Structure formats: C-alpha cells, structure tokens
Chain A
Amino acid sequence: MVNTTDKLHVIYGDGDLGVGGDGFHYLFSYSRGGIESLVIDNKEWLYREPKPTFWRATTDNDRGNGFSQKSAQWLGADLFSQSVGVDVKVDDQLIKFPGAKVNNQYSNNEYVDKIEVSYHFVTATKPTTDVSVSYTVIGDGTIGVQVHYKGNIALPDLPVFGMRFLMPTVASGFKYDGLSGETYPDRMAGGQRGTYKVAGLPVTKYLVPQDCGVHMNTDAVTITRDWTKNNADRSERAFSLRFEESGTPFAFSCLPYTAEELENATHIEELPVPRRTVVTILGAVRGVGGIDSWGSDVESKYHIPAGKDIDFGFKIMKG
C-alpha cells in the first residue's frame, strides 16, 4: 500500500509549479528563474528567487592587484544573468513542460514521489557561458540543489561561484558545523572544527566594506529568524532553515547585504539599515591573498579559473 502522506502534492499552475507536503509548500516560478516561495510551517523563507552568484565585494587585495578590473564582467553576470529555460522532471522522468495549456491534463490531486525543476542560465558575460541550477524535492520536503557551471576559457577568473538566497527579514543568528572564524581557502589553517553559534548578522568591520564572513568547509548551517513580512503573522516564535552538505562540505556566508551593497560603500556606516538575510552557499571561493596589497596576485592554487567546470550541491530542509 502506498502511503500518500509521503508523497508530494503537485499543483501544475500556469506561472508556478506548486509542490506541497506535510508542513511545507514551494513555488517554482516559470518566469523568474527559481524558487519564488519556500514556505515551511507557514513561514516564508524567500524574498526573491535564489540565483547563481559570481561576485564578491572587492577586497583591498582584489583592488590592489587589479583583480576586480580584470574580472569586472562577473559583476555584470552577478546582477544581470538571465534564466533562459526551465525543465521539470517527475519521478526522474522529464515531462513535457507543464505550462499552459499542457497543464490542463492535470487535477488538484496530483501526487508524486519526487519533483526536479532545473533552471538554465546564460551569464551576462562576453562570451557567455551556461549555468544550471536544479532543485529536487522529495516527500519530506528536503530540497536537493545541484549547481553546474560550464567552463569557458575565454572568460576571466571568477571571484566566487555560488547560490545566493535573499531572505525576507533579518535573521536573529545562525549556527554552523565547520571552522571557527572567518576563513578563506588560503586562510583556514587556524580555523578549528566545531559547532559555532553566531548572534545576529555581523559584518566584519574592515575600514572599507568588502567581502567578509566566509566560512569554509562547512557541513551544515542553520539560519534562525523570528519574524516575517506577513502582516497577519504576529508570532515571535523562532523558526529555522537548514542548509546541509550533500557529500562534500561547502562554504557559506550569512550577511545582511549583497556583494553589490558592500561594494558600493566606502565606510560601514554607509551600508543600508539591515532588512534582509543574504545567505550565499559557495561552491568555489577565491583566496584573499596577502603578499602585498598593490600588485601581488593571490597564489594560483587559490584562483577560480573560468575554463574549468564547477559542480556543487547541498540540501535545504527545515531547521
């Protein structure tokens, strides 16, 4: 006997693919390049769709050695890369794209074991390259995310490659299993493994705001918020979302700002009033370097060459 409560309820909409289950409901937008809504226990976790990210706010060493100038295209890619296609797989089978009017064949009683929605992006670079992001939802609501970057040797080194999640409100804090402190590929020997709880969303107070708060080699991070933007939700109960490695540890940062917001500020006091949570799950991170701040490059083993494919994955679940 099939236990229908373990199945996903799928709503084949005209603009969004709805996927629901016990205590969760997700909307995969056909027009906006990603998950439009990620609700767990009636709490919305997304302000905008998660997108591939290609930029980090220029560090002093990036500026000094001309990296940001050479790799400036990736700033454009970070802001303007477009989704050009969506595929839907049901129980591992690619189905005919279920938009209007193909979807008239379905009902409000569609139950499946597994849904996979893949978004295809073309980077706003010259030349372009392709990025795909696929989300696989299973019965308990866990979302497996797989991200693929297709290498193109004609492009400059990347500053980072990852997925950026904009959450609607400021988190009260986060907890992670990984390395102590702020770590980067070329600065992580001093990080000690453990479980660390961070209150609020601290921005490292470098004189000029720049990329910060990266945590390498992370097994899991749980973000906790206690308020939403829902005018009818007056609860102050804390609620959490967990990102977990799927086979390989990831790097992440959890900040109140995007790379572009940090990039534009000359002082920390110029940053906007924190309103959201920006979680970036990183599949590749460039080192910070340290030989000098006026020309020496980051050591080559800590570069992200654009010619090489990058694949990484992680899971999202109730925290």
Chain B
Amino acid sequence: MKPDISWLDDPEVFRVGQIPAHSDHHYYRNNNEITNDRSSYVENLNGNWQFKFSRDPMSRPSRFYEAGFDSGDFDTIKVPQHIEFAGYDRFHYINTLYPWEGHVFRRPAYALNPDDEGKGMFSQAKDNRVGSYIKTFTLNPDWQGMQVRVRFEGVEKAMYVWLNGHFLGYAEDSFTPSEFDLTPYLKAGENKLAVEVFKLSTAAFLEDQDMFRFFGIFRDVSLMAQPKVHVEDLLIKPVPINHFEDGDLTIQAKLTVKDPRARVKIVVRDADGNRLFEDIKPANNRLEVNNQVIKRCHLWDTHHSYLYQLLIEIDDGTGKVLEVVPYQFGFRKIEINNKIIELNDKRLIINGVNRHEWNCHSGRVITSDDMKSDIRVMRENHINAVRTCHYPDHTEWYRLCDTQGIYVMAEDNLESHGTWQKLGGVEPSYNVPGSLPQWQAAVLDRAKNNYELLKNHPSILFWSLGNESYAGDDIAAMNRYYKQVDPDRLVHYEGVFHNPKYKPQISDVESRMYATPTDIRDYLENNPQKPFILCEYMHDMGNSLGGMKSYTDLIDKYPMYQGGFIWDFIDQAIEVKDEVTGQAVLRYGGDFDDRPADYEFSGDGLLFSDRTPKPAMQEVKYYYGQYN
C-alpha cells in the first residue's frame, strides 16, 4: 500500500490501515499493575519529537519518513501539543465560517456537482500547514516477538504514519484514537516512527466546530504490546430486569488467541469487592457470558453512581497470567415511556452543561487534574449532565463521569455549520454530509469510532450525531447505525430542526438550542411527538445567565420538558504575555491578527478560562439544586 496525498481531497478516504475501533478498556500484565494503573504492556511516547513545520504541502519534506533521511534541520517539539502553541502557526478562533473564509474559495467535493472531485483542494493548497514528526524509540526487549501497535489518542486533522520507512496508514476523525500495527516492520533496537500531519483535508469540512482551530498531535501517543492472548474488544451489557430488582449481565469479548491452551477467568464483584460471579472458559476468539442474573442489583444514577467490577484474567493454561482487564460497569435503563425520557423508571431531569475541553495554557491539551477539577465543580453546583460538545473527549473523562454520576450526551466529532448556515440564514446549497453518498462513509465511521470506544460507559445515556450539520440521508444513516448497534441508548440530534422532514428518521428527542421559553411552550402544547431537550441554552457569554427561572419553571409544568445543557462550561481564551506590560493576560479571537475571527464569542463559560467560576455559577447551583 502506498500513501497518496490526494486522500486529503477525497471524502471517501478517511481511514487506511487502521486497527478497527474497539472499547477503551485498559489491560495489564497482572493485578499489581491494575492497582498502580501502570501497564507494562504500554509505553508512553509523549515527550520531545523531531519536528519540521511546512507552510504548505508543496514545501514539505516529503521523504522524511525514509530511514536514511537527514533530519538535521528539524526542530524539537513537545508531544502532545497543538502546533500553534509551539509557535509555528497562528492561533485562530472562528465560529461558523470556515477558517479559509475570504482567503480561499472552496466547495466540498461533489456538493454542487457530482463530477467535482475536489482534486487538489487540500493537497495542493497554500493554506494547508503541515507538521512532519519523527520519533525514534527503542523496542522494549521484553516485547520481542509480541504484537505491538502504536496508538494516537488524538491528532488534528489528517495524518499519515510510517515505521522504519514503511507506510502504515492514514487517519482522520481527530478526536478518537487511531491505532496501527507496527509488528511487521519493528526492529530490535532503534525504530523510526514518522507522522505527517495536515491541518486541512476533507475532514476540515466536517470539523467546523465553534472553537480555536488547531492542528497536530494533541493527545497521548503510546506503544502497546499485546500478549499471546489479548482482549481486543469488550462489550458489557448490564440491564435491569424484574422491575428494576435484579440485573441481567451479558458480556461479549473479542480475543486474539495465539495460545490454544489459554484460559479466561471472568469475575464480577460488587463495589465492596464481594464476588458475585466467576467462570472459567477456554480462550476463544469470541468470549461470551450470557444473561447472568445479579440478584437485587444496585442501580446506577447521578445520586448513586454504583459500579460493579468486571475482571477478565487470562492465563496460559498453566497458571501463568498473560493479561488482566478490569472494567467498571453499572446497571441502569434509559428509555422513553409515554413520550417521557425515564432513567430507571423515573423521569429524567437534565441539569446539564456543554463542555469543551480547555486549558488556557494549552488549548484542548488538558490534564487529568483539569478533568477532576471540572467534575468536582459540576458536582458542587448540582450539574448532573454533560454534553461532550462537539467531539469525543479524552477517555478518562467518561470514567470520571461513571464514577461521579454525571450523565453524558456523547457527541460524534461532526460539525459542518459553514456549509448550510451563512450570516445567520439557513442556506444548505453545499451542505455536507447532507445526502451525498461520497460523504456518508466518513460520518458513519465517526459514529462507529465513538460507539466502539465508549459503549461500556454507564454514564452515557445519549449518543449525539454531531452538532449543527443540517440533516439529510447521511445523518439519518448515522441514526440507524446507533439504533442497530445500541438499541438500549437514546439518539440525540438537534440539526434536524432545520430540515424537519427527517424528524421521523433522526433523533429520539426534540432537541433545540436557544429556544425561548415561549417557543418551548408552543411545542409542548401542540401535540408534541418527542420529549423535549435543550441541547444548548442560557448562553453564558460575559455577564449573562439571567432569566433561568423561566426555563426551570417548565420542568414543573411539562413532564415532556426534560431540561437542558447550559452553553457552556468554560471560556475558551488563551493566556499570553502582554506585549506591553509583560503580564499574563487572556486573549481571544482576533487578538493574534487572525481574521476573519469571532472575537470574544468563545467566552461563554460558567468558568473563566483559568477555571475560576464566574459570578453566575451561584445561580446555576440554586436552580439546578431545586431539581436535584
């Protein structure tokens, strides 16, 4: 397989050579490693990498991945990091317009003309910045002979990967992991991993989120070795049964098995460590535990985020442990009864907030402490739900939501706002994905990446098909995909509001953003077909968040009104040194000579961008506390 730079132009090429998406379980060599959360099968590749910035694809060092390439003129960059934060490219904040607005004329391939393949639109574009990364690493001698992969947790927006001069593959969908098998080309001793990252590709049309536009390797990179028998994918289905008295547990795992003598022990414990179930089976490619009943099970919800513990332990048949996989799961049921969303047989009230990942010193490169702090602030202020606007978050976030009892609306990495809304008006003449067949597989892949990665988290009640992308056959296909793989969760999408003929096919809920209380009453009093959610409301830009009572009053009056997600959790601003005083100051769109820009429009948080709360937070605490 040979890489082709024209993949950047082709919406039908979005993943090449990648390992299929799978669950986010961690795996370890033994139980001690679980306790310390340090797996000897995982090595972090974060740190300093060799780096070359190129202003466009034409000037990039196109053969830098080759073994003999002289990288003497390369710089050093820290990974993970947005390339803009390393000072190579300009910060740019823009909301709905595409970042090339007024600089380059572009229409998505096939959108206006079925013969327009968009050739060269990105691969030959002067505004398509390129980052060429090289990391040399020495293979852990303990890993000799093992399958080894590289895992990128997040890279914006398109990347090609090579090992020792051999092409491994290509990835888009910036916010879900990409994995490539290194095994065929690994050498004992030093290996050269080369990653070529492009700021623009057809993925840019699908990633028009209202945020600072960055590129580069912005989440962790790891090498992962797999023992002879390895859990590749895990599906845990805990379902409350018998009127929520008991629980029915089904577990399905996909294993790679290279030792036919291996055995798999499956143990389920309650939160106190009492063993509820244990079984030992021979290691097969498909491992199943079906309909195991847990008597008098504890239910999971925001008040009691009770988690059971699954442990899968694989040995080689002689008692030598090869791999252990822990996973925490919860029993809860989300369903719509009589047009009302119920969680565990009770009406669901969403006291929610939209959350972008943000740190004013590093953008969307955030730390575990940032996430823990965010969860704590949510709990302290009676926020019980989060929408991961508008992309999948760092996987640790979902684990925190499981343990801390925060409901999650898990959104796909999709927004194509600039293709259908212009200067406020709905004008979908070149909307993607729309109903274009050439764009459907890419968005379905995004749905699949989201589902496969996160499917075991009890905190996720809703899958969300993306944000502000209008509606057509392709988003309807995403809805069908989720319903097929996961009929037990609800599907959310707001964009169908602008193309209501798709309402029967898209979204289990009537979702709106920024509807006035009067608009909402109008909907709820006129034969509503679906329960109502505000996926965005109370736009907390600057000194705002007045009039919240008019929304919370609806909760008392209309059972089908189920609350909403405040826009949003944290201001997105960047701390820099003031060029005049040298003081640390917070800057926003347009402050970096970035034009066109949307200026302070990203300052809508309940928190300032340094994570201190805005004064309005006490109001949120009060009203959300009334419905807690």
Contact surface of A with B, Cβ cutoff 8 Å = 59-61, 64, 180-192, 204-208, 210-212, 267-269, 287-294, 296, 298-299, 302
Do the beta carbons of A269 and B581 come within 8 Å of each other? Answer: yes
What DSSP secondary structure best describes chain B's contact surface?
A: loop
Please tell me if B471 contacts chain A, counting CB pairs below 8 Å: no
Q: Give residues in B with beta carbon < 8 Å to A.
A: 424, 514, 516, 537-550, 571, 573, 578, 580-581, 583, 585-588, 591, 600-601, 603-604, 608, 614-616, 618-623
Contacts of A59 in B (CB 8 A): 542-544
Q: Is the CB of A290 within 8 A of B545?
A: yes
A180 to B619 alpha-carbon distance, docked (Å): 11
Known: A269-B583, A302-B547. A293 touches B541 (CB 8 A): yes
Interchain CB contact (< 8 A) of A207 among B537, B588, B616 = B588
Are B544 and A60 within 8 A (Cβ)? Answer: yes
Contacts of A206 in B (CB 8 A): 542-543, 603, 614
Complex Cα gap A6–B601 (Å):
58
Query: What chain B residues lie within 8 Å of A190 (beta carbons)?
Result: 618-623
CA distance A210 to B541 in the complex (A): 11
In the complex, the chain B residue whose C-beta lies closest to that of A205 is: B608
Q: Return chain B residues, CB-CB under 8 Å to A268.
A: 585-586
Q: Are B543 and A288 in contact (CB under 8 A)?
A: yes
Tally inter-chain residue pairs, CB-CB below 8 A.
124
Give the Cβ gap from B603 to chain A, nearest Cβ, in Å.
4
Task: List 17 A–B pairs whose Cβ atoms lie within 8 Å, in order of A's numbering.
Answer: A61-B542, A61-B544, A61-B546, A186-B547, A189-B622, A204-B543, A205-B608, A207-B571, A208-B542, A268-B585, A288-B543, A289-B546, A290-B539, A290-B548, A293-B539, A293-B541, A294-B424
Extra A-B contacts (7), CB below 8 Å, given A186-B546, A207-B573, A288-B543: A184-B546, A187-B546, A190-B618, A206-B614, A207-B586, A291-B516, A293-B544
With A208-B542, A288-B543: A187-B585 Cβ-Cβ less than 8 Å: no
Q: Is the CB of B615 within 8 A of A204?
A: yes
The answer, among A183, A187, A296, for a CB contact under 8 Å with B516, is A296
- Given the interface contacts A204-B615, A208-B600, does A298 sit within 8 Å of B542 by beta carbon? no
In the complex, A184 Cα to B549 Cα: how many Å?
A: 13
* Separation of A181 and B622 alpha carbons in the complex (Å): 13
**Residue from B545, B546, B586, B608 whose CB has the most chain A CB atoms within 10 Å:** B546
CB-CB nearest in chain B for A214:
B543
Q: Which 6 residue pairs of A and B lie closest in terms of their CB atoms, listed nearest first?
A: A186-B546, A60-B542, A190-B622, A182-B615, A190-B618, A207-B603
Task: Please determine whether A207 and B542 come into contact, CB atoms closer than 8 angstroms.
Answer: yes
Whether B544 lies near A299 (C-beta < 8 A) is no
Given A189-B623, A190-B623, A298:B546 Cβ within 8 A: yes
CB distance from A192 to the nearest CB of B (A): 8
Cross-chain contact of A60 among B514, B543, B547 (Cβ < 8 A):
B543
Q: How far is the CB of B212 from chain A (nearest CB, A)?
A: 13
Candidates B538, B580, B601, B608; contact of A290 at CB < 8 Å: B538
Within the complex, the shortest CB–CB distance from B93 to chain A, in Å, comes to 11
